[in-house]
C-alpha cells in the first residue's frame, strides 16, 4: 500500500507524535512518502529562523526514528512546488462551508490574534499533499481523521467533475496510541501547542526530565494499575508502557497487580528513557552532519517531484488549461 503522511516542522516533537504517527510510518515505509510540511507551518505566527532550523532538526529526527531515505521518499514540502500548485487547483473544488466546519480550524482560529487565510485553507493543501501522490493510505493520529475525510470528498468531487484522476485514500489510525494524552491533563492530547509543558514528554528530553514528567503524571485516588472509568491518567500510562515494552495492556496490568502507582510510574519512565535513547543518539550524529542531511533531502525532493508531476499534469489537462 502506498502511504503518505506529513508532520509540521514546528514545536518539539513528543511521545504522542512518535507513538501515534512516526512509529507506524517507519513500520510501513517501503514505497511510501513522508513529508515535512513547512508550507503548513506558516498558517500561524512563526519565526523564519526557527522554521529553517526546525526543518533540518525534524529531518534528522525522522531518520533517527527509523525512516530510511533509501526505502521511502522523505522530503520537504516546499522543495516540491507541485504541492502549492495542487493546492490552488483543488481549492476550486473545495467549499467555504466544508472548510469552515473543520474542528482544527475552529480550535486554532480561536487561539490566534491574526487568523490567516492559510489557516483556513490548510486542509486543502493537505489534500493536495495526499492526492498528488496517488496515495492509498494516510496514517495519522485521531485528530487528523476529519482532514483525511475531507480529502476523500475533494477527490471524489474532482473525479466526478473531471474524470477519474485520484485514488480515494483510506485513513489509517493506529490500533494503539492514536491519542496519547497529556500527562497532566489526560483528557487532552499530548501536544506542544495545546497541552501542558510538564505533561508533554519530548523525544529529545533528558532522562531526568522524563523521570520528573512521568512521576508527576496525574492519576486518580485509587491504587490499581487498571483501565476503568475515571482512570484516564493510568490508562494513558498503560498505553505508553505497552508501546515502549511491546507488551499488551493485559500483560502490563497483570505485571503491576498488587503494586502501587509509584513503582509503575518509575518503570514507565525507565521504559520511555530506553525507547528514546537510541533515537537521541542517532539524532545527534545526523544533526552534526548538515551536508549529509541536505543531500538526503535533495534526493527526497527529486523523487517526490517525479512522483507528483504526472498527476499534476493530468489535473491541469483535465481542467482545461493549455500547457506550454
Ligand atoms: P501538536 O499537537 O504538538 O501541535 P500536531 O498534531 O499539531 O502536533 P504534527 O506535529 O504535524 O502536528 O503531528 C504529526 C502527527 O502526530 C499527526 O499524525 C498527529 O495525528 C500525530 N499526533 C499528534 N499528537 C498526538 C497525540 N497526542 N497522540 C497521538 N498522535 C498524535
Ligand atoms: N495536518 C497534519 C500534517 C499534514 C499531513 C499531510 C498528514 C500535512 N499534510 C498529509 C497526513 C497527510 C498534522 O497537523 N498533523
pLDDT at 223: 87
Residue closest via CA to ligand 2's atom 5 equals 6
For the stretch 193-233, pLDDT in tens is: 878 999 999 999 999 999 999 999 999 988 899 999 999 99
Q: Do 250 and 298 belong together in one domain?
A: no
Domain assignment of residue 254, yes or no: yes
Q: Do 25 and 55 belong together in one domain?
A: yes
Q: Do 40 and 118 belong together in one domain?
A: yes
Distance 123 CA to ligand 1 centre (A): 15
Task: Give the end-to-end CA distance of the chain in Å, rounded to a whole number.
Answer: 34
Angle (nearest 5°) at CA 133 between 30 and 35: 65
Domain assignment of residue 323, yes or no: no
Which of 82-86, 93-97, 177-181 has the least mean pLDDT? 177-181
pLDDT at 324: 85
Q: What is d(CA 177, CA 171) in angstroms, rounded to the nearest whole number?
A: 15
Domain assignment of residue 166, yes or no: yes
Is residue 136 very low, low, confident or very high in pLDDT (cuts 50, 70, 90)? very high
Domain of residue 234, residue span: 207-284
pLDDT at 213: 98
- HSE-CB of 235 using CA atoms within 13 angstroms: 14
Cell of residue 146, nine digits: 476529519
Domain assignment of residue 185, yes or no: no
Distance 163 CA to ligand 2 centre (A): 26
> With contact defined as beta carbons under 8 Å apart, do 263 and 256 qualify?
yes
Q: What are phi and psi of 137, to 5 degrees?
A: -135, 140
Is residue 280 very low, low, confident or very high in pLDDT (cuts 50, 70, 90)? very high
Is residue 135 very low, low, confident or very high in pLDDT (cuts 50, 70, 90)? very high
For the stretch 39-60, pLDDT in tens is: 999 999 999 999 999 999 999 9
Q: Do 171 and 245 belong together in one domain?
A: no
Domain assignment of residue 96, yes or no: yes
pLDDT beyond 80 at 70: yes
Does the C-beta of 190 come closer than 6 Å to ligand 1? yes
Ligand 1 atom closest to Cα of 40?
Answer: 11
Distance 193 CA to ligand 2 centre (A): 15
Does the C-beta of 186 come closer than 6 Å to ligand 1? no
Does the C-beta of 41 come closer than 6 Å to ligand 1? no
pLDDT at 194: 79
Domain assignment of residue 199, yes or no: no
Q: Do 94 and 173 belong together in one domain?
A: yes
Q: How many domains does the chain have?
A: 2
Question: pLDDT exceeding 90 applies to what percent of the chain?
Answer: 90
pLDDT beyond 80 at 175: no
Residue closest via CA to ligand 1's atom 25 equals 16
Q: Give, to the nearest 10 degrees, the angle between helix 261-287 and helix 232-245.
A: 50
Q: Which among 20, 5, 4 is positioned nearest to 203, based on CA atoms?
A: 20
| Mean per-residue pLDDT of the chain | 95
Residue closest via CA to ligand 2's atom 12 equals 5
Ligand 2 atom closest to Cα of 139?
Answer: 11
Amino acid at each position: 500500500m502506498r502511504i503518505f503522511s506529513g508532520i509540521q516542522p514546528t514545536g518539539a516533537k513528543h511521545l504522542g507524535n512518535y507513538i501515534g504517527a512516526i512509529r507506524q510510518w517507519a513500520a510501513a515505509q517501503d514505497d511510501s512518502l513522508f513529508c515535512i510540511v513547512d508550507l503548513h507551518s506558516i498558517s500561524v505566527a512563526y519565526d523564519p529562523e526557527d522554521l529553517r532550523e526546525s526543518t533540518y532538526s525534524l529531518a534528522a529526527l525522522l531518520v533517527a526514528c527509523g525512516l530510511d531515505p533509501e526505502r521511502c521518499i522523505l522530503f520537504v514540502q516546499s522543495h516540491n512546488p507541485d504541492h502549492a500548485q495542487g493546492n490552488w487547483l483543488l481549492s476550486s473544488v473545495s467549499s467555504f462551508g466544508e472548510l469552515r466546519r473543520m474542528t482544527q480550524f475552529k480550535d486554532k482560529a480561536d487561539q490566534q490574534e491574526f487568523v490567516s487565510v492559510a489557516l483556513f485553507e490548510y486542509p486543502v493543501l493537505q489534500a493536495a499533499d495526499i492526492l498528488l501522490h496517488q496515495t492509498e493510505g494516510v496514517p495519522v493520529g485521531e485528530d487528523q481523521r476529519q482532514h483525511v475525510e475531507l480529502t476523500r470528498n475533494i477527490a471524489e468531487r474532482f473525479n466526478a467533475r473531471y474524470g477519474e484522476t485520484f485514488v480515494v485514500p483510506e485513513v489509517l489510525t493506529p490500533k494503539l496510541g492514536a491519542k496519547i494524552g497529556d500527562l497532566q491533563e489526560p483528557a487532552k492530547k499530548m501536544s506542544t501547542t495545546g497541552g501542558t509543558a510538564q505533561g508533554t514528554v519530548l523525544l529529545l528530553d533528558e532522562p531526568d526530565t522524563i523521570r520528573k514528567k512521568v512521576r508527576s503524571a496525574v492519576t486518580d485516588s485509587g491504587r490499581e494499575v487498571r483501565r476503568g472509568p475515571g482512570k484516564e491518567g493510568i490508562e494513558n500510562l498503560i498505553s505508553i508502557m505497552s508501546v515502549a515494552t511491546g507488551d499488551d495492556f493485559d500483560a502490563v496490568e497483570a505485571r503491576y497487580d498488587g503494586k502501587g502507582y509509584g513503582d509503575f510510574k518509575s518503570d514507565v519512565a525507565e521504559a520511555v528513557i530506553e525507547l528514546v535513547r537510541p533515537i537521541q543518539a542517532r539524532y545527534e550524529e545526523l544533526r552534526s552532519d548538515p551536508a549529509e542531511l541536505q543531500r538526503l533531502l535533495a534526493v527526497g525532493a527529486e523523487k517526490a517531484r517525479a512522483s507528483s508531476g504526472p498527476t499534476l499534469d493530468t489535473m491541469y489537462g483535465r481542467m482545461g488549461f493549455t500547457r506550454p
